[in-house]
Chain A
Amino acid sequence: SQQGEEDPQALSIQEGENATMNCSYKTSINNLQWYRQNSGRGLVHLILIRSNEREKHSGRLRVTLDTSKKSSSLLITASRAADTASYFCATDGATGANSKLTFGKGITLSVRP
């Protein structure tokens, strides 16, 4: 399966600290995406990184992609209590136009005020 797998499963940090979350996948991909889910809500797209990119920034978010290791990391700098949520990586396979978008099980991030 090409499904992404995040680690750690849960992360608890103090407000102001940086949070690093990792995602590994198994097969070649076109791109990798990170999503956020607040409790009881749908997933919201954060950032997309293409397979030919190595790093991407968006505000306090920094995503890296290492296709040789089939892994990605999401860094949230200067975390805030409002960043408390679950974070998911999603991958789409590079095996044709009809590859599907699949998600990992997610990482629960708790930011303590």
Chain B
Amino acid sequence: DAGVIQSPRHEVTEMGQEVTLRCKPISGHNSLFWYRQTMMRGLELLIYFNNNVPIDDSGMPEDRFSAKMPNASFSTLKIQPSEPRDSAVYFCASSFQGISWTEAFFGQGTRLTVV
């Protein structure tokens, strides 16, 4: 398996534009996480899915953020409209959750810059 694959690796966009981040989790994992990392706030959990169902989206900053997982092998995080304060590195991670969690595997991240 190639690991968790995120695209794009870098994204520069103008304020107000729509941004879509993509993630392909590891085959066989039943859970997927979206995290955001900034110097100020560290690593924040935005949302996680279990068996393609959103379980906890309490970390999603506001209505401008939305995430979907239409099937077990693909997820998107969308920001519409984007703002400069959304600039951060966004990580996708996948794991297997049974009775408890196994290790999470992270993608390389998408560095988003909103100007």
Contact = CB atoms under 8 A, between A and B. Distances in A.
Interface in A45-104: 45, 48, 50, 88, 90, 92, 97-98, 100-104
Contacts of B104: 33, 35, 43, 45, 90, 101
B43 A101 contact: no
Given A31-B100, A101-B95, A41 B43 contact: no
Contacts of B43: 43, 88, 103, 105-106
B1 to A, nearest CB: 15
Nearest to B92: A42
Contacts of B103: 33, 45, 48
B101 A106 contact: no
Given A98-B50, A100-B48, A105-B43, A44 B100 contact: no
A18 interface: no
A14 interface: no
Contacts of B108: 41-42
Interface range on chain A (Cβ under 8 Å from partner):
20 to 34
B55 interface: yes
B109 A101 contact: no
Main secondary structure of the interface of A (DSSP, over half): strand
A42 B101 contact: no
Contacts of A103: 35, 42-43, 45
Nearest to B100: A30
Contacts of A41: 108-109
Most buried by B among A42, A45, A97, A103: A42
Contact of B55 (A35, A92, A98, A106): A98
A44 B33 contact: no
B102 A48 contact: yes
Contacts of B100: 30-31, 50, 92
Closest 6 CB pairs of A and B: A42-B106, A30-B100, A105-B42, A45-B103, A43-B106, A92-B101
16 contacts: A30-B99, A31-B100, A33-B101, A35-B104, A42-B91, A42-B108, A43-B43, A45-B104, A92-B100, A97-B97, A98-B50, A101-B33, A101-B45, A101-B101, A103-B35, A103-B43
